[in-house]
Structure 1
Amino acid sequence: MANTVDAMKKMSKKEITRVFLLQNGLLILLGIGIIFISSGILNWTKQLSFSLGAIILAVVLAVVVGFLNVVFDRLLPERLTDDGGLNKLIFKDRGIIDILWLCVLIGVAEELLFRGIIQFYFGFWASVILFVLVHFRYLNKVYLLFNITITSIIIAGLFQFSNQNLIAVIVFHILFNFIGALDMRNRYQNEGGVAHGEERRREHGERRRSRV
């Protein structure tokens, strides 16, 4: 993980974007190809059918879970929520539209793979476990591991509950990531302005001592 972050620190913002475009673009093409070839046109259109109820549920879930995630990220000490600096590297200096496109790309690519292929063919828990393992930078932090596991279960559950509707889980994934990414961007750009819980308590203690 440290090697990955160190390598990315040497890249420009454009180079990091190209890496994401290449990796997730290939995942999208792979997912579309496998789903289309193995399922046929009928199952393909069924998984991508528009369901207003499923999409509304996805939006509500993403907003609730996303904002709960933001609250915990702000309250907990940074040592529990730090992923090694990769999120900071990716989101700190990006514009909102840039972040949105990255979230769309990641959401589409990962859901085509994990829900459209893995969960469709191998089941609920296979998609949950593999989704967690792919986010390997979270595995050595208890809170991050718990967080990504719960998120994975929620997405897999939404896929099952929505009658395997890919659009619903893609919408959830995009919105959930976008909420978290915007909060990270704001915190990283205003370091000291919006602190983690531990830092906030330390600053409060210092202010109290200065009054004595």
Structure 2
Amino acid sequence: MRKSQQELIKQISDKELTYHLYFTQILLLTISFVLSIFLFNNFSTFFYQFQLSWDIFLIGILSGIVIVLLDLCLMKIIPEKYYDDGGINKRVFSSRSISEIAFLAAVIAISEEVLFRGVIQYHFGWLIASGIFAVIHFRYFAHWFLISNVVLLSLWIGWVYEWTGNLLVTIMMHFVIDFLLGVHMRWKAKQAEKKEGISDE
């Protein structure tokens, strides 16, 4: 499955990959809007989940940083093949500018957290939301380590939402994780390019 995924990724241009990525996030937001109409008695109940508080920084940002540091430590210990997702994340982040990575991470964090925590978890519970979150990341199913990471991450973010009841906290946490890991992938790609340049000389 990973080989066919890698071949498919190679056939898609950067522009097409970006289009599909943004289309997916818009689709998630559309699903959130439609479900909200049927599940919430009024929109004020939904918007009450967005609360400006110090938890955004104390819990959201700090939790995101801790998870990224843990992930980076594991990358040093665990063989690289365990993090092989078929090259999708590398294609998505490695050639983008810092501002593009930040914008993309924000879009992903908002669309996914609004749907999975703000709508699904609010109405159906922590475990169901975490399970569905893992299912939509089906491209990781080819590797037990990656899907385990996704499941554990989803459970952790879901628990943070249960604890705070604040979507802005989980959005910030999700953003920090995707942004910092995206910047790390970009940095790794630049380092690899430099090494190739030196070896060619």
Name the TM-score class by shorter chain. 0.7 to 0.9
Provide, for residues 113-172 of structure 1, a one-character-per-residue CA deviation record: whole Å limited to 9, x for no partner.
Answer: 111121111111101111112111222323212211211111000100002x11111111
Aligned counterpart, 1:8:
9
Other-structure match for 2:122 = 120
One of 71, 74, 77 as aligned partner of 1:75? 77
Q: Which residue of 1 aligns with 2:94?
A: 92
Runs of 4+ in 1 over 6 A off after TM superposition: none
1:149 aligned partner, one-letter code: V
- Give the AA of the match of 2:31: L
SS in 1 for 2:85: coil
Of residues 138, 144, 147 in structure 1, which corresponds to 2:146? 144
- TM-score (ref. length: structure 2): 0.86
Pairing partner for 1:57 from 59, 63, 66? 59
Instruction: Decide whether the 8 Å contact of 2:46 with 2:118 is kept in 1.
Output: no
Q: What value does the CA root-mean-square deviation take over the aligned residues?
A: 2.1
Structure 2 unaligned residues grouped into runs of 5+: 196-201
Are the equivalent residues in 1 in contact too, given 2:32–2:115 (CA < 8 A)? yes
Distance 1:86 1:35 in 2: 31
Structure 1: any 5+ residue segments left out of the alignment? 195-212
| Distance verdict in 2 for CA 1:77–1:192, change over 3 Å | farther
Q: Which has the larger radius of gyration?
A: 1
- 183-192 or 23-32: bigger deviation: 183-192
User: What SS is found at the alignment partner of 1:47?
Assistant: coil
Distance in 2 between residues matched to 1:94 and 1:178, nearest whole Å: 12
Aligned-pair identity in percent equals 27
Count residues with an aligned counterpart.
Answer: 193
Query: TM-score, normalised to structure 1's length?
Result: 0.82
Whole-angstrom CA distance in 2 between matches of 1:167 and 1:36: 21
